[in-house]
Structure 1
Amino acid sequence: RSRFPPCGHFAPAPTVRRMTGTRKDIVVVDLGGSTIKVGFAGDADPSSVVPNCVAKPKGEKRSYIADEINQVKDISSLNLRRPVDRGYVVNWDLQRDILDHVFKKVLKINPKNCHLVITEAPFNLPALAAEQDDCIFEKFGFKSALTCPPSLLALTYHLAERPRSDPCVSARCGVVVDAGFSFVHATPVFDGRVLRNGVRRVNLGGKALTNYLKEMVSYRQWNMMDEYVLMDDVKEKLCYVAGSAADELKRAKVRGASNEVNMEYVLPDGVHVLRGYVKEGPARDPDAESSDDDDDDDGGGGGGGKRRRKKKQGGGEKRRKGAAGAGFVEQCLRMGNERFMVPEALFHPADVGLDQAGVAEVVTQAVRSVAVDLRAMMYANVIVAGGCASFPGFKERFEAELRPLVPVDETMTVTVSESPTLDAWRGGSVVGAGADFERLAVTREAWKKDASEFRTRYEEHAGVVKGRM
């Protein structure tokens, strides 16, 4: 049973689409597995986006928390501690410390004088949900709080941006694909309420993709298994979704300067290069002088066969002279088919050993679980949110994969915002600035009076439809 309120109760009215002003007394927190988006209700964008973790650099005694991680000079072998595991906050002691830092140092607020809108992963365990409530009301002392799933908030944001003539606005319906750090959820919504039996999940997200990239690069070039932060940056800067993986593999095998796939990422050395960066222009071809093994090359960053072993020992190094004084060794990762084969796992999880459907297939599975009369409206409003939707080419590939699975007589509309990672926070901003916030939010006094009774009442009026519609 869910504690989430019905989206239909706080979805913006068709005649009121824009927020009227900032509410400095209402804090909006999108508690993601990778980052925390924080700000004030009524704002168009969050005030800050900070890592949801604590980092300890190698060789240092102190730890860095949240936004302080940006102060770390040497990010090599950075040890991260995250309160979130597989999408759920399992270490509330650590999460409490991170939020305390965010509220005091980043937002510079006193929680006891504020109200709160905060996200919570779907199907959260009751024990973890209770710890969250304790943290909100006992530790921080918020006046009131409203807990919402990211998918409903993302839907709220998109509906607020549409004209009242849109049928999906009045029906408050659609399918929200939340492709985040830990997993992908396809959530059907009708009349602003989650059709719980239709929710489908893929146990694959941004974290798994980064780990997959680490393994590929470590096998082909340098050992990067302890460099999560660095490889996550490589993923965000260089990876993209190909329209066709087979065609892109052919492009990756092209030799010389005409190859537009291969690129180089300069690794930090802690002295001359403190942050990795993408090198301009096409990557050099390390195998240009070799022809014996050309047929064995699969377009990967490290070449193929025996040459791959040689590259691991020193082939990725270049000596450069310049402002740094004497020449220094520049170590580069040569990224080839890794750039598009890593995000390819979102559409074909079997590539990484998961016997599950891809992101397009789970949408059809979610829609088929609802009544036949509702399916057309679901396909007419497919919203994709979350960090994985930020890959270049994702929307086009997603539409191409989904269209053959949708009945030919059905209209299919896929919407991806310019910043899909912020959709949930923006929806929370709409909710917090809405007229119904005070009615929906739980006061600290009511929670302290009888938390268990309130939880039961909240579940009964959560608006989550369990049965098949």
Structure 2
Amino acid sequence: MYTDIVVTEPYFNFSSIQESMTEILFEEYQFQSALRINAGSLSAHHYFHANPSELCCLVVDSGFSFTHIAPYCRGKKLHEGIRRINVGGKLLTNHLKEIISYRQLHVMDETHVINQVKEDVCYVSQQFYKDMEIAQLKGEENTVMRDYVLPDFSSIKKGFCKPREEMLFSGKYKTGEQILRLANERFAVPEMLFHPSDIGIQEMGIHEAAVDAVQALPEDMQPHFYRNVVLTGGNALFPGFRERLEAELRALVPAHLPVSVLLPSNPVCYSWEGGKLLAHSPDYEEMVVTRDDYEENGHCICEDKFDI
């Protein structure tokens, strides 16, 4: 039984790691052929496959550990425009754990539960200061506040958000339910994607890094990238993320250039679907390194073939 593999790795991966990975794929696991590629390249392949008339796109991949911004032209990535921000879902979850532990309940050991809280209740604010004012109001006027029921893993297997009516008018909850009351945390945590300096991380926000990436490219190509910004990764699922990024870019990009940000229906699997398309494309055979190639030429064949 012969098996091929497509494996993703970060941009500018260390050559020692690349070498070890290739060795493991061919010598330990005996794959018949391998393709090492960036997740962003698979997303770009997916986008160009769906939009054959487009020449360029800017992939904004905001995942668990990092956020990468990478420009692609005719399927090739442009190295001079690749940017990385050290802000991802893990940092947001950890920050939410710290806030809740400081204000309400010690949850520093409950990463999985708080990650679920973040996914269920957090959103990206369109008007941060206005939302901050609403979050300080009392009673019904505070439209931001939510009560979240934590799981006890016996009767409540998974946490959930209380309906607003129940929260406002019941006055009393079932005994035994452990409640987190969340207000400005809901939008202050995802805000770090746009303003990492809020918590002392001296880096650009996603919108600034995207503009910085495009400005590093030839001027005549720049309009094409602003028009084709593709969001991938789990953080793209925050409600309001696409609209906020588009508004922030619109404020920074020259007025005569159109700005458009695309959110795929499933941003988490977008690059995986791109990999599936690539594996069935006629170019695939040309891109891979076979085990025979590897045994004959060693790791240097991979350096020549894989544009990492």
TM-score normalised by the chain length of structure 1: 0.63
Deviation at 1:196, TM superposition (A): 0.8
Q: Within 5 Å, which residues of 2 pair with 1:116-155?
A: 116-155=5-44
Q: Within 5 Å, which residues of 2 pair with 1:44-59?
A: none
Deviation at 1:249, TM superposition (A): 1.3
- In structure 2, what is the Cα distance between the partners aligned to 1:206 and 1:404? 25
Q: Secondary structure at the match of 1:272?
A: coil
Give the equivalent residue in structure 2 for 1:315: none
Structure 1 runs of 4+ with >3 Å offset: 282-285
Q: Secondary structure at the match of 1:265?
A: strand
Contact 2:19–2:299 (Cα < 8 Å) also in 1 = no
Give the equivalent residue in structure 2 for 1:227: 110
Give the equivalent residue in structure 1 for 2:85: 202
- In structure 1, what is the Cα distance between the partners aligned to 2:199 and 2:173? 36
Give the equivalent residue in structure 2 for 1:28: none
- In structure 1, what is the Cα distance between the partners aligned to 2:160 and 2:123? 17
- In structure 2, what is the Cα distance between the partners aligned to 1:381 and 1:275? 38
Which blocks of at least 5 consecutive residues in structure 2 are unaligned?
Answer: none
Q: Secondary structure at the match of 1:113?
A: coil
Deviation at 1:366, TM superposition (A): 0.3
Q: Within 5 Å, which residues of 2 pair with 1:335-350?
A: 335-350=182-197
Give the equivalent residue in structure 2 for 1:422: 269
Question: Which of 135, 140, 143 is residue 257 of structure 1 equivalent to?
Answer: 140
Give the equivalent residue in structure 1 for 2:279: 432
Q: AA paired with 1:132?
A: M
Deviation at 1:253, TM superposition (A): 2.2
What do the CA deviations read for 1:22-81 (whole angstroms, capped 9, x no partner)? Answer: xxxxxxxxxxxxxxxxxxxxxxxxxxxxxxxxxxxxxxxxxxxxxxxxxxxxxxxxxxxx
Q: Secondary structure at the match of 1:330?
A: coil
Give the equivalent residue in structure 2 for 1:391: 238
- In structure 2, what is the Cα distance between the partners aligned to 1:457 and 1:273? 54
Distance 1:319 1:363, change over 3 A: closer
Contact 2:287–2:305 (Cα < 8 Å) also in 1 = no
Q: AA paired with 1:198?
A: G
Deviation at 1:258, TM superposition (A): 4.1
Q: Within 5 Å, which residues of 2 pair with 1:45-444?
A: 112-162=1-51, 164=52, 166=53, 168=54, 171=55, 173-281=56-164, 284=167, 320=174, 328-444=175-291
TM-score normalised by the chain length of structure 2: 0.94
Which blocks of at least 5 consecutive residues in structure 1 are unaligned?
Answer: 1-111, 289-317, 321-327, 465-469
Bigger fraction of residues in helix? 2
- In structure 2, what is the Cα distance between the partners aligned to 1:347 and 1:200? 14
| Aligned Cα root-mean-square deviation (Å) | 1.9
Q: AA paired with 1:365?
A: D
Deviation at 1:153, TM superposition (A): 0.9
Q: Within 5 Å, which residues of 2 pair with 1:446-457?
A: 446-457=293-304
Contact 2:134–2:141 (Cα < 8 Å) also in 1 = no
- In structure 2, what is the Cα distance between the partners aligned to 1:271 and 1:441? 49
- In structure 2, what is the Cα distance between the partners aligned to 1:456 and 1:389? 32
Task: Kindly name which structure, 1 or 2, has the bigger radius of gyration based on alpha carbons.
Answer: 1
- In structure 1, what is the Cα distance between the partners aligned to 2:237 and 2:28? 35
Bigger fraction of residues in strand? 1
Q: Within 5 Å, which residues of 2 pair with 1:36-47?
A: none
Deviation at 1:271, TM superposition (A): 2.8
Deviation at 1:128, TM superposition (A): 1.3
- In structure 1, what is the Cα distance between the partners aligned to 2:176 and 2:246? 44
Q: AA paired with 1:149?
A: N
What do the CA deviations read for 1:421-447 (whole angstroms, capped 9, x no partner)? Answer: 111101101101111211211111211
- In structure 2, what is the Cα distance between the partners aligned to 1:408 and 1:148? 36
- In structure 2, what is the Cα distance between the partners aligned to 1:456 and 1:209? 35
What do the CA deviations read for 1:258-303 (whole angstroms, capped 9, x no partner)? Answer: 4321111111223322322222225747xx9xxxxxxxxxxxxxxx
What do the CA deviations read for 1:90-132 (whole angstroms, capped 9, x no partner)? Answer: xxxxxxxxxxxxxxxxxxxxxx522112211111111111222
Contact 2:151–2:158 (Cα < 8 Å) also in 1 = yes
Distance 1:283 1:336, change over 3 A: farther
Contact 2:48–2:75 (Cα < 8 Å) also in 1 = no
